[in-house]
Amino acid sequence: MKGREFDPKTAPISFIDLEMTGLESSKHEIVEIGLVKVSQPNLEVIERWEIKVKPTRLETADLEALRISGYDAEKWKDAISLKEMMEMLAPKVQNTILAGFNVSSDYSFLDVAVTSTSIPLDFHRRVLDINPYAAAKLGYVFGEKGLGSLSKEYGLEFENHHTALADAMASFELYKKARLS
């Protein structure tokens, strides 16, 4: 990923969440991506997008990760290839700030996707992890709670936890709550 420099005060923010076949980016795969792109400084939603990605190495999948992400061959019958997903994602995130809850994991999977597809993503060179940011602003202990429990605690209830778009939206809502506090 290029990591270009542009004004972080006005650049749109791309809240991303990935569902994967496990936690190791060198071994596991992306099976779903959700994106909530918002403008700055007003934090209005510009775009919501999600897509299922067809896994190619299910034999390496962690069964618990598949259960958590809701993977089911029937639900994924119309899923697209990783390359097709990257071709669709690249223009959506160009010149934006990558953000998410524990975004370093998502970043590592996207980095592998960039390498394997040769499709670059042109994010800002810095990323925004919502978890430590919200912990500092809202006063909870960083690392003690997950996105679901924090969303509930701060009245940001959402449906379909552990679907990529719902989790991307929850990350955005938690960020907005923290930023406006």
Domain boundaries of the chain, sorted by first residue: 13-128
CATH topology of domain 13-128: Nucleotidyltransferase; domain 5 (3.30.420)
Provide the mean pLDDT of the chain.
92
Distance CA 43, CA 81 (A): 31
Distance CA 147, CA 150 (A): 5
Distance CA 165, CA 49 (A): 7
**Residue 2's pLDDT is what?**
60
**Could you tell me where the beta strands, DSSP code E, fall in the chain?**
13-20, 30-38, 45-52, 96-100, 123-129
Please write the tens of the pLDDT for every residue from 110-135. 999 999 999 999 988 789 999 999 88
Mean pLDDT of 140-157: 80
**Residue 24's pLDDT is what?**
97
Q: Which two tokens stand for residue 117?
A: 């597809």
pLDDT over 70, % of the chain: 94
Residues in CB range of 93: below 8 A, 6 or more apart? 14, 16, 35, 37, 121, 122, 123
pTM above 0.75, yes or no: yes
Minimal CA–CA distance to 17: which of 126, 179, 146, 157? Answer: 146
